[in-house]
Structure 1
Amino acid sequence: MIRPWNADPSAEFRQGLLDASCKGDIRRVHALFEILKEEDMAESSLYYCLLTETARNGQADVLRYLFDTLSDCLRPLPWKTYNYQFCLPFNYHEDNLHGDNHTSYSGLNVLLYALEGTDPPAIINALLDYGLTGNHDLNSDMSLLYKAVEMKKHDVVKLLLDHGADINRQKPELVLIKAIRSDDPDMVSLLVKHGAFTEESNAFEYALTNRRIRSVTRLLELGADINDTFAMRRNRNGDLSKVRAGTPLHRVIMARPKQPEATCSLEEMVRFLLVKGANADIVNITGKTPLQVARQRKRKEVIKIFKEFGVKK
């Protein structure tokens, strides 16, 4: 979708430039830019709209042309993290494109529009050629990699990883847990194969206790121990350390029965673990087996499943 330009004496020209950019008509874009220079109609809000809408519409060749042409984009490389990327209005509002009160600048929305658009990999790849880095931060709390994982943009995630994105740069488990929360096994595989910590994070613990069964399946395939009696937990200082937590069976049974966005029931997860070979005889730190914990917590349906598998104690 191409957004209309606000009405003014040069609105038709501007709309033509915007239409050509969004349709990928590079020859017309070039011709109109020559007129733009001659008529001295350039302004930062026009540049901003061109860049964001070109990114949204997946026109990578036009975007490259804009970066080569617009003086606002010709900045030292690489982009600085989230405080300054290139000179574009940050407080953009489509109802006030011609305001002169733009005092704060950022390329944040260009990146977000690229991720939401029709060809995210092509646009992000172009931006990587013009100073974007794999480790770019959208703000102090969120990296571009994290946002791409959140939006399930597998091709963009791979592109960022291939360009040096460090999965473990912030909290080691943060990006991987975002993939697990969405129960996206292919994203989990991609992150683990590119170095996401598994043994040194609580990712498997999170997948178990929040009942993301596809992610549990994939993590087991990638080497998680179905009978591991240790789990990673955060201490008061926020650091992760290994603690005795019982087996995955123990932890699943002890977790809250109702889990928002769980992709399987408690009973289905217990059955799955038993089918996969989970040992029901291992005791936890208090000396209880998973069945004994189920009895203690009155998990009647879980108790029935243990009986189906011949577990008696």
Structure 2
Amino acid sequence: METTGPNTPQRGSASAGGQRTVGKDLLIKAVNEGDVGRVQQLLEQGADANVCEESGGWTPLHNAVQTGKVDIVNLLLHHGADPHRRKKNGATPFIVAGINGNVDLLKILLSRGADINERDSNGFTAFMEAAEYGKVEALRFLFDNGADVNLRRQTSEDKVRSKQGGATALMSAAEKGHLEVLRILLNDMKAEVDARDNMGRNALIRALLNQNCKDVEEITSILIQHGTDVNVKGEGGKTPLISAVEREHTGLVQMLLSQEGINMDDRDNDGKTALLIAVEKQLKEIVQLLLEKGADTKCGDLVGIARRKYNPCLINILQLYEANHDTNPLAGDWLPHSSRWGEALKRLHSIHQPMIGKLKIFKDDDYKIADTSEGAVYLGIYDHWEVAVKVFCENSTRGLKEVSCLRDCRDHSNLVAFYGSEDHKGCLYVCVSLCEWTLEEFLKVPREEPVENGEDKFAHRVLLSIFEGVRKLHSHGYAHQDLQPQNILIDSKKVVRLADFDQSIQWTGESPMVKRDLEDLGRLVLYVVKKGEIPFETLKAQNDEELVAISPDEETKDLIHCLFSPGENVENCLTDLLGHPFFWTWENRFGTLRKVGNESDIKVRKNTSALLKLLQPQTLETSRSFDQWTSKIDKYVMDEMNDFYKKNQNFYQDTVGDLLKFIRNIGEHINEKKNRKMKAKLGDPSRYFQETFPDLVIYIYKKLKETEYRKHFPQAPPHLSLPEAAGPGATQS
């Protein structure tokens, strides 16, 4: 949205040039004063028609359009002014013309190649600006020339992350109170009445944001007539009804209550209903309306509030409708989700304890989850949610790091969720997801081993979740710096979540911080694969070579090596490693070998092909399990497979290419009826080849990962939840 004047500093790209141009200041001054003769004189003397002001990047053409000077616009264009030049906020002269509302200017600039839907850096088009400023003629002209009525504002990624942007022209018109524009958009242009911005707000919510709009009741009526959602929520979880009560607007409340399907008992983020707010504000008439409509009176200590306000009239109304006295909004059949902490949470819920903002907490050992370097972690109830509460000293550096990281990296399933924080009497309370176990506890509790057919999918799923969580951190510019089993948590749904960000560091390309996370991940890989049998502190004391040496298989060895030695690819290391064979199922691995073996150069054994040369081990390479591979295949199976080539004597040879061809042919024909005996010998082919040639998959991966043949690799690892058998049962608190 264009709200600044020509001398207001704005963020954006640097202004064109930077050197003083002949007549620069004089030309801009003449344009702003509307002095056509002076403008022409300066241009004829060589003044640059495309000079930019330093602060906002305004060109003479931008200024001329803003002031609506058609003659000066034409003069500047005649002398080479660029009609597509953008100010620092990305606005073109055409977008500025949308604000001005001058149809003649819009026609001129459209004829000079302006895109009818071009946007500035905040996502505004000329059509949106015309709606924002109530320019009816310009709005109609732009619509007739193809402007997209329902286009949503696209803005920068950082603003999208904070849920800014996404509004439509209709939302702007509603918020600014432009009745005529609103009617035109809905009746003539069929604007989408219930479109949502990035915060989930529709035009009705936006209209109620404007506290000074004198036509808010009529705007609300128009939007309702066109089918807007009257139960949508805006900032703070407030519905239109709650907003109308807060505005103390009886007419609006009455209108909303008359709508079919209105939910008058919705709560905002503070747990308040429209009735509770009306009682707090002593709005007798609105309280009466809500009660007559059947609003739930079990939403707070309504009578007690009225008594404390010394309002006997309100007390009488509430008692007439049997409103409860001293009702605790947390009371009732409240049941926690946690099995491990459930009993303690019930006790916490039932005790009388002063609230700290939205938080109920009792700092007692009965409710303590863990100790920390600066305090402890306690059970808590925050805004009706069961949470874990990390307690820090007020202004603690670690506490501030924790909150900053959680806020910036919220809404990811593999990080603990951030519910909010409270400050009270020198303490900072940080409320996050309540989980059941640490990774260390989870691995120690006896359980049925979820190893399927020799394949450890459990370890792969746990580590995939950890990798995803750390990658999320890194993508938001944070390094964890304290990755260890105690800081990896598992919730009641067996979801693995990264926690404890009080040592996290914001980084801007400094690889040592990220490298530390990668090295800790390497140790966590071995810790999980070994099911916690080797203490993490022991793993931290060992060097890279020792850790690789005790890895149980080739995929684990290579994954750990890649984490310890990422080379120059530090920043994108985890993104690449999520496609590592470690995370492939055995079926994926077998499928990859089959697909590579299906390449025509391999099937016809074209020894001169680049692919076969690439796959063949070099003379100096260490020995492999697949050296002399034909002698390691079950003899009956080998003879049967060679029998197919008996006529031309073109038997399988001990090359990697022929092994892949062999695997491809097995995969294609093993389930045929005539090959029943062969299948009985091999069993599951994916397991057979994994166990017979344990280093083959990683060998093929390393040879082909930088080539076009990586197309045969699985596109993404499977995002599977942990099996029920993989976790401990309910534990007593």
TM-score between the two structures when normalised by the length of structure 2: 0.26
Q: 1:141/1:20 Cα in 2 relative to 1: closer, same or farther (>3 Å)?
A: closer
Say if 2:166 and 2:197, in contact at 8 Å, map to a contact too. no
Q: Secondary structure at the match of 1:231?
A: coil
2:303 to 224, 246, 249: 249
The 5-angstrom pairing of residues 41-190 of structure 1 reads: 41-42=114-115, 44-45=118-119, 48=124, 50-69=126-145, 71=146, 73-74=147-148, 79=150, 85-86=151-152, 90-91=155-156, 108=167, 110-111=169-170, 113-117=172-176, 119-128=177-186, 129-152=188-211, 153-168=216-231, 174-190=239-255
Aligned to 2:351: none
Tell me how far apart the structure 2 counterparts of residues 279 and 218 of structure 1 sit (CA, whole Å).
15
Aligned to 2:621: none
Tell me how far apart the structure 1 counterparts of residues 58 and 191 of structure 2 sit (CA, whole Å).
34
**Identical pairs, percent:** 19
TM-aligned CA deviation for residue 11 of structure 1: 3.1
TM-aligned CA deviation for residue 36 of structure 1: 2.2
TM-aligned CA deviation for residue 107 of structure 1: 5.7
Tell me how far apart the structure 1 counterparts of residues 323 and 243 of structure 2 sit (CA, whole Å).
31
Q: 1:110/1:4 Cα in 2 relative to 1: closer, same or farther (>3 Å)?
A: farther
**Residue segments in structure 1 that go unaligned for 5+ positions in a row:** 80-84, 92-104, 234-244, 258-265, 287-313
1:231 to 294, 297, 318: 297
Q: Which amino acid in the other structure matches residue 184 of structure 2?
A: A
1:267 to 304, 310, 331: 310
Deviates more, 1:10-19 or 1:135-144: 10-19
Q: Secondary structure at the match of 2:310?
A: helix
Cα distance per residue 1:111-134 (max 9 Å; x no partner): 5543453x5222222332434333
1:191 and 2:260 are equivalent in the alignment: no
Say if 1:60 and 1:122, in contact at 8 Å, map to a contact too. yes
Say if 1:68 and 1:74, in contact at 8 Å, map to a contact too. no
- Relative contact order (alpha carbons < 8 A, sep ≥ 6): 1 or 2 greater? 1
Q: 1:200/1:57 Cα in 2 relative to 1: closer, same or farther (>3 Å)?
A: closer
Q: 1:199/1:178 Cα in 2 relative to 1: closer, same or farther (>3 Å)?
A: closer
TM-aligned CA deviation for residue 205 of structure 1: 3.3
TM-score between the two structures when normalised by the length of structure 1: 0.55
Say if 1:108 and 1:138, in contact at 8 Å, map to a contact too. yes
Tell me how far apart the structure 2 counterparts of residues 124 and 32 of structure 1 sit (CA, whole Å).
23
**Residue segments in structure 2 that go unaligned for 5+ positions in a row:** 7-56, 69-93, 157-163, 268-272, 328-733
Tell me how far apart the structure 1 counterparts of residues 324 and 126 of structure 2 sit (CA, whole Å).
63
Q: 1:41/1:231 Cα in 2 relative to 1: closer, same or farther (>3 Å)?
A: closer
Tell me how far apart the structure 1 counterparts of residues 326 and 63 of structure 2 sit (CA, whole Å).
74
1:36 and 2:101 are equivalent in the alignment: no
Say if 2:175 and 2:206, in contact at 8 Å, map to a contact too. no
Q: Which amino acid in the other structure matches residue 105 of structure 2?
A: L
The number of residue pairs the alignment matches comes to: 228
Q: Which amino acid in the other structure matches residue 212 of structure 1?
A: K
Aligned to 1:212: 281
Q: 1:192/1:49 Cα in 2 relative to 1: closer, same or farther (>3 Å)?
A: same
TM-aligned CA deviation for residue 157 of structure 1: 1.4
Cα distance per residue 1:94-114 (max 9 Å; x no partner): xxxxxxxxxxx9662745543
Q: Which amino acid in the other structure matches residue 8 of structure 1?
A: T
Aligned-residue RMSD, C-alpha: 4.5
Q: 1:249/1:60 Cα in 2 relative to 1: closer, same or farther (>3 Å)?
A: same
Q: Which structure is larger by alpha-carbon Rg, 1 or 2?
A: 2
Tell me how far apart the structure 2 counterparts of residues 145 and 62 of structure 1 sit (CA, whole Å).
24
